[in-house]
Homo-oligomer: A and B are copies of this chain.
Amino acid sequence: MAQAAAQESRAVHAVQATIGDSEFDRDTAVTLREEGVYDAELSSGWTIIHAVNGGYLLAMLGRALGQALPHSDPFSVSAHYLTASVPGPAVIRTQVVRTGRTLSTGQASLFQFAEDGTEVERIRVLATYGDLDGLSEEVRTTAEPPAMPPRDQCLGASDGTAPIPGSSAITERLDIKLDPATVGWAIGAPSGKGEMRGWFGLADGRDADPLSLLLTVDALPPTSFELGLKGWTPTIELTTHIRCRPAPGPLRVSITTRNLAGGFLEEDADVWDSAGRLVAQSRQLARAPRG
Contacts and interface: CB of A to CB of B under 8 A. Distances in A.
A127 to B, nearest CB: 8
Contacts of A193: 142
Interface in A66-105: 75-76, 78, 80, 82-83, 97-98, 103, 105
Interface string A129-145: 00010011111111100
A98 B83 contact: yes
Interface stretch (A24-32, A55-63, A182-190, A238-246): A238-246
Contact of A236 (B103, B259, B261, B283): B103
A262 B142 CA distance: 14
Contacts of A278: 258-259, 261
A117 to B, nearest CB: 19
Integer count of this chain's copies in the complex: 2
A247 interface: no
Interface string A247-291: 000000000011111111010000000000110010101000000
A103 B131 CA distance: 35
Contacts of A261: 135, 138-141, 243-244, 277-278
A171 interface: no
Contacts of A80: 76, 78, 97, 105, 126-128
Residue among A124, A137, A139 having the largest count of chain B Cβ atoms under 10 Å: A124
A107 interface: yes
Given A78-B78, A239-B283, A285-B76, A124 B141 contact: no
A23 interface: no
Contact of A227 (B76, B105, B121, B140): B140
Given A97-B124, A121-B98, A239 B239 contact: yes
A283 B142 CA distance: 17
Interface of A: 75-76, 78, 80, 82-83, 97-98, 103, 105, 107, 121, 124-128, 132, 135-143, 193-194, 227, 236-237, 239, 241, 243-244, 257-264, 266, 277-278, 281, 283, 285
